[in-house]
Amino acid sequence: MLDKDGKLIPELTAEQARQAIADGVITGGMIPKVETCIEAVQAGARAAVIINGRTPHACLLELFTASGSGTLIRAD
């Protein structure tokens, strides 16, 4: 997930994600993805990650690099 400047947002709490939706930082098709991640962490998941499926090896990069390749959403 990218911020308004096109930079990757590496991590958000559920509350920060809600605020980003309200502020218009998260828009369009990203909203249902983020809302689903929020639901997952509210239901007990420790975190949820949104990654770009068009990036080669995105899952491996997320799992095996310190910085990851996507946006982690965690409970508040």
Tokens standing for residue 43: 């239901």
Q: What is the pLDDT of residues 6-16, one digit of tens each?
A: 898 999 999 99
Do 73 and 47 meet the contact criterion of CB atoms below 8 Å apart?
yes
pLDDT at 34: 97
pLDDT-derived band of residue 2, with 50, 70 and 90 as boundaries?
A: confident
pLDDT, position 76: 84
Strand order in the sheet with 47-50: 11-13, 71-74, 47-50
Nearest residue to 50 via CA among 35, 64, 33: 33
Tens of pLDDT, residues 17-66: 999 999 999 999 999 999 999 999 999 999 999 998 898 999 999 889 88
User: Token pair for residue 34?
Assistant: 């983020």
